[in-house]
Amino acid sequence: MDKKHNNIGHNYLNNNGSVHKNLKTTKKGFYVNYDKAGYRIDHYNTNIFRRLARKVLIKIGIFEPIKNIKKRLMVKYVWKEKVNNLIKKLTKSNLPLFDRISIETFSKCNGGCSFCPVNRFDDPRDDNLMNENLFKNIILNLYDLDYKGQVILSLNNEPFLDKRIYSFAKIVRNYLPEAYISILSNGTPLNVERFKRIIDNVDELIIDNYNDELKWHKNIKAIMEYLADKEIYKDKVKFRMRLENDILDTRAGQANNRGWIKTLDISCLYPFISINIQVNGDISLCCNDALSKEVVGNVSKKSLEDIWYSKKYFDYRNKINSSRKLVSICEGCDTVDIPRGIANV
Ligand code: SF4
Ligand code: SF4
């Protein structure tokens, strides 16, 4: 079975009947590289010229204004029409079920990323673990739905701080053999032994190495060395070198290192394709809603499909379609994501 995935679902829209179509479109180059064993290594915003340019623009105070203008122009001339057309197609007869579900089994992260509202310095959330029965019920619910989409065992947290993550991945693997299981980690709690414990029960492990000096953390390097003479996991494991202090999206208007933005005149695909579960079972509007400011339902009270097709969810979708201004977290959000899997529908 081909288990490669396009990273953000909507596989049911592939008209060749393939559930997990390989949509690898990124070639080796400026940001993406492959090591000798074939492991993908992304350099996200870390190219020296890009970093220097950003530094200068930040220093003279025009980085954000330029970013905002660029985004508004892209919205106006490129993205708006595409997003509208995709939403029209998705909702034409009946909205298909989500095919990306993210589950946060522990509510904290040990990372210090300045662009993230739940970095360890700013996160107002308590340390909470998802109840094990709740986790199992979610997976049983997906089993009943014959779910074959993507299951991400992380959200706005560091998943390996939850020691149950290994058994949770196994449960998902056993109950949903055709689902595509992903985990995103900042890599700090990982070592070779833990890597070996998790890897056979996931289809994708993305390790984000956050370091402003662009150095690989020792433990991540050890995993890379362990993999150097093994190709078997090359389609599963991706390493990303990333800056801990970076200026990225406003993340539902909650990124502490971003200022005010004029609301973007575009809808958003996330509530039409993905669902996100917090530790207490709350379904937040999108993955950017790290603090659950807009809760659509709770999966301990209603099934996933009932929530997905609930009036409340459609009200949110309709509001975002009319204007981001109608939903408080969307008003200041500059995320525009057109997942590759649906871009050519
Ligand atoms: S971006 Fe990820 S690793 Fe960084 S603080 Fe946020 S949740 Fe943690
Ligand atoms: S506009 Fe932003 S906050 Fe609103 S649903 Fe989309 S990603 Fe989430």
pLDDT tier at 340, thresholds 50, 70, 90:
confident
Ligand 1 closest atom vs CA 186: 3
Distance in angstroms (rounded) separating the CA atoms of residues 139 and 161: 21
Pairing of strands 282-284, 274-277: antiparallel
Each residue of 5-15: pLDDT tens digit? Answer: 333 343 433 33
pLDDT of residue 13: 37
Ligand 2 closest atom vs CA 329: 3
Share the mean pLDDT of the chain.
Answer: 91
Q: Residue 331 above 60 pLDDT? A: yes
Each residue of 19-43: pLDDT tens digit? Answer: 333 434 455 666 788 988 899 999 9
Flag whether the pTM goes above 0.85: yes
pLDDT of residue 44: 83
Each residue of 79-123: pLDDT tens digit? Answer: 999 999 999 999 988 899 999 999 999 999 999 999 999 999 999
Distance in angstroms (rounded) separating the CA atoms of residues 331 and 224: 41
Query: Which ligand approaches the C-alpha of residue 266 most closely?
Result: 2
pLDDT of residue 12: 39
Q: Could you tell me if the CB of 209 is within 6 A of ligand 1? A: no
Ligand 1 closest atom vs CA 115: 1
The CA-based dihedral angle spanning residues 183, 171, 234, 248, taken in that order and rounded to the nearest 10 degrees: -10
Q: Residue 323 above 80 pLDDT? A: yes
Each residue of 66-75: pLDDT tens digit? Answer: 999 999 999 9
Pairing of strands 100-103, 40-43: unpaired
Ligand 2 closest atom vs CA 288: 8
Which of 186, 208, 210, 256 gets mutated to test ligand 1 (max ligand atoms within 8 A of its CB)? Answer: 186
Percent of the chain with pLDDT over 90: 83
Percent of the chain with pLDDT over 70: 90
pLDDT of residue 50: 87
pLDDT of residue 245: 94
Each residue of 180-212: pLDDT tens digit? Answer: 999 999 999 999 999 999 999 999 999 999 999
Each residue of 165-186: pLDDT tens digit? Answer: 999 999 999 999 999 999 999 9
Which residues surround ligand 2 with Cβ inside 6 Å? 252, 268, 270-271, 285-286, 288-289, 320, 324, 327, 329-330, 333, 335
pLDDT of residue 26: 54
Return the number of other C-beta atoms located less than 10 Å from residue 147's C-beta.
21
Distance in angstroms (rounded) separating the CA atoms of residues 136 and 171: 8
Q: Residue 336 above 70 pLDDT? A: yes
pLDDT tier at 345, thresholds 50, 70, 90:
low
H or E element in which residue 242 lies: strand 237-242
